[in-house]
């Protein structure tokens, strides 16, 4: 983390705590971790603004437990994102088209894909990953499922996938993958209360 994103101040009320501001694309998240606690609490914007308010402009070095508390906040953020993602993208049933298509692609054995190029294998794995993360539109999954449902050859399935997906993730129907959206996460500011 760049040093500019780190700050420290003395605080009687919030002693031995670390405030962290994360940005995920357009989503802003604020967390407060306490020393000696494995959990951190998510706070809203107004509480974060009040927490950062100070009259003292003296520069202070961050404490020794800064990075430990930062990892606590990062872990809590990842946990919250995972729970949200599982809730939003949970399949409605085991007969859900997305689940069926993913299972179908996983059924093919490596020996059936020996003639695949590296790009072919990357595309295959990307489609499986995007299906798992819910990054494929239901209509697209439905169209692909109808096309591959009765196909038994991996090469034929691959050709169908090539018509619907591309490695750069851009085609008429798809949005960027969940993984690429999550990679936009950055720590904007961390303040250590000593």
Domain spans of the chain? Answer: 3-89+185-193, 97-178
What is the value of pTM for the model shown? Answer: 0.49
3-state helix, strand, coil in the chain (%, to 5): 50, 15, 35
54-63 confidence digits (pLDDT tens): 777 777 778 7
* 90 phi/psi in degrees, rounded to 5: -65, 135
The confidence score (pLDDT) of residue 86 equals 57
Confidence label for 91 from pLDDT (cuts 50, 70 and 90): low
Q: Rounded to whole angstroms, how far apart are CA atoms 193 and 50?
A: 13
Q: Are strands 185-193 and 40-43 parallel, antiparallel or unpaired?
A: unpaired
The confidence score (pLDDT) of residue 176 equals 45
């Amino acid at each position: 983390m760049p040093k500019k994103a780190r700050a420290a101040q003395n605080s009687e009320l919030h002693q031995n705590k670390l405030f962290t501001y994360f940005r995920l694309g357009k989503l802003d998240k604020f967390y407060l971790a306490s020393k000696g606690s494995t959990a951190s609490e998510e706070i809203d914007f107004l509480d974060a603004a009040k927490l950062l308010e100070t009259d003292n402009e003296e520069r202070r070095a961050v404490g020794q437990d800064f990075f430990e508390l930062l990892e606590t906040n990062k872990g809590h953020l990842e946990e919250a994102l995972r729970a949200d993602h599982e809730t939003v993208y949970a399949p409605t049933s085991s007969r859900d088209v997305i689940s069926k298509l993913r299972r179908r692609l996983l059924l093919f054995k490596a020996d059936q894909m020996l003639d695949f190029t590296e790009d072919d294998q990357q595309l295959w794995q990307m489609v499986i990953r995007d299906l798992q993360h819910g990054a494929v539109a239901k209509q697209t999954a439905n169209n692909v499922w109808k096309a591959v449902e009765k196909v038994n050859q991996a090469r034929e399935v691959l050709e169908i996938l090539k018509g619907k997906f591309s490695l750069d993730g851009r085609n008429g129907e798809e949005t960027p993958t969940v993984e690429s959206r999550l990679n936009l996460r950055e720590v904007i500011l961390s303040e250590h209360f000593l």
